[in-house]
Structure 1
């Protein structure tokens, strides 16, 4: 799937109203490994980017020989794209930094012949220069442009969907208060264009969209903040119990909490000599 939360419509049947304590306990108990967001169906929604990243990735996989997927999570998107590709690359490798996701991705991707390599976000990619003709990434922690350029073959392509600036900041600022402009502008596509070009890449395509999200109960908020841990660093139910209770009452009386995710599609090419 191309986004964190399901975009399926909610059922017209009204669920039985549940207490704040019950909902928070449910949101706090859901496992957070991997990037499968199917648990949110019926309790949170997010619109899909118009470009359909997984489908677009599948088309590029079919024409590639050696592929690297950076920050694969639990391998969900790569697995989906490989399943839709008309031809599998000769070599496909994925990296992941979080140990529980490494195990999950390995179990998911091994049947497809994909090797999953555990890495650190602050370390160079553990591959030789000019190894891959296609590097992909969906929501990488950050784009290390010099390393991406280094491992790409001349003429190779980087094709990724990035999280953009001030993504879901309605929720972030509900808990943390107004954020400075410097933080709000992090991950701006114009900045990433400049960084990619400085590393020696040519931008082929760069498109950005903001997408409506809705949280329909406080359990969805709790699970989201436990899963996407950089949104509200150090989030725990105990630490933010007053804010959570107030937000629960707001959702109960006014309807879903609305936020907007920020996404951009990046396609860049390493020039030939």
Structure 2
């Protein structure tokens, strides 16, 4: 729809289904580079060797659903009811239990219940709870959203947010994991390019990723949407950057192992 008007494109973005955590609707409307480490592939490999596994804030189950094999005990949590429905339809037939959970402590599981806990882009991270449900020797393996992710887009609507730019920094999260008693054994970072090609994609993203511009509605931000539409038409795209980090943290097998550690070797600064 190269000749679509601003209003037509906004309407398309407003009508799009934003349930689940599948962004394929954006094909042809936006692109995003992926971190080189390949989280979904690494997760699938780890699932082959786990005995009991929990995925926290799984969305619609799309990412974990790519795995070919699940452990004997396999559980995912999700807070948003439409996503719970999607995840149940996708994962229940494969033996994965889907738990509707508010994403606030406590997790509804016993201490030491899982030898592998995972998450991709959790909105909230409760390190003490993650450590509690991990079995001794168990691993938390996740890809988190890092600092100032998509801030070029966010600040277009909300103005400068200098204090918020530090939020979710990988060093801060690694320190929090250590305070919860976990040993950070791997930490990698990536900054990747996002290109957005029409205002329908912007409306879709701000409706789906609701914490980017809290309280977003088309009516409330119509003037800024119109300004951004003009930028995209003039430049051919709007460019912003995502920030990601891959983190692996291990729970000590015994109290003797629980000693302070510094930054792990090989951390990307």
> When the two structures are superposed, what TM-score results if normalisation uses the length of structure 2?
0.93
Q: Secondary structure at the match of 1:195?
A: helix
**Map of 1:40 onto structure 2:** 26
Which residue of the partner structure matches residue 9 of structure 1?
Answer: none
Q: Give the aligned partner of residue 54 of structure 2.
A: 68
1:6-17 to structure 2, matched below 5 A, reads: 16-17=2-3
**Post-superposition offset of 1:17:** 1.5
Residue 164 of structure 1: CA displacement?
0.4
For 2:195 and 2:157, the matched residues in 1 are separated by: 16
1:121 is displaced (CA, Å) by: 2.0
- Is 1:59 matched up with 2:32? no
What is the distance in 1 between the residues matched to 2:84 and 2:178? 31
**Runs (5+) with no aligned partner, structure 1:** 1-14
Q: Quick check: 2:105–2:129 contact (8 Å CA) kept in 1?
A: no
Could you tell me which residue of structure 1 aligns to residue 6 of structure 2?
Answer: 20
Alignment RMSD, CA only?
0.8
Residue in 2 that maps onto 1:159: 141
Deviation at 1:120, TM superposition (A): 1.1
1:220 is aligned to 201
| Aligned residue pairs, count | 254
Which runs of structure 2 are paired with 1:89-128 in the superposition (5 Å)? 89-128=71-110
Alignment match, 1:260: 241
CA-to-aligned-CA distance 1:202-254 (integer Å, 9 cap, x gap): 00100011110000000000000000000000001111111111111111111
Measured in 1, the distance between the counterparts of 2:221 and 2:63 equals 32
**Alpha carbons 2:30, 2:194 under 8 Å: kept:** yes
Does structure 1 conserve the Cα–Cα contact (< 8 Å) formed by 2:54 and 2:74?
Answer: yes
Deviations 1:166-195 (A, max 9, x none): 1000000000000032x1111000000100
**Secondary structure of the equivalent of 2:215?**
coil
For residues 71 and 94 of structure 1, the distance between their equivalents in structure 2, rounded to whole angstroms, comes to 7
User: Take 1:96 and 1:56, find their aligned partners in 2: how far apart are those partners?
Assistant: 22
TM-score by length of 1: 0.92
Give the one of 249, 253, 270 matched to 2:230: 249
Deviation track 1:121-160 (CA, whole Å, cap 9, x = no partner) reads: 2231000000100000000112111000000000000000
1:179 paired to 2:161: yes
C-alpha distance in structure 2 between counterparts of 1:153 and 1:170, whole Å: 40
Give the Cα separation in 2 of the matches to 1:180 and 1:167. Answer: 13
Quote the residue 2:190 is aligned against.
Answer: 209
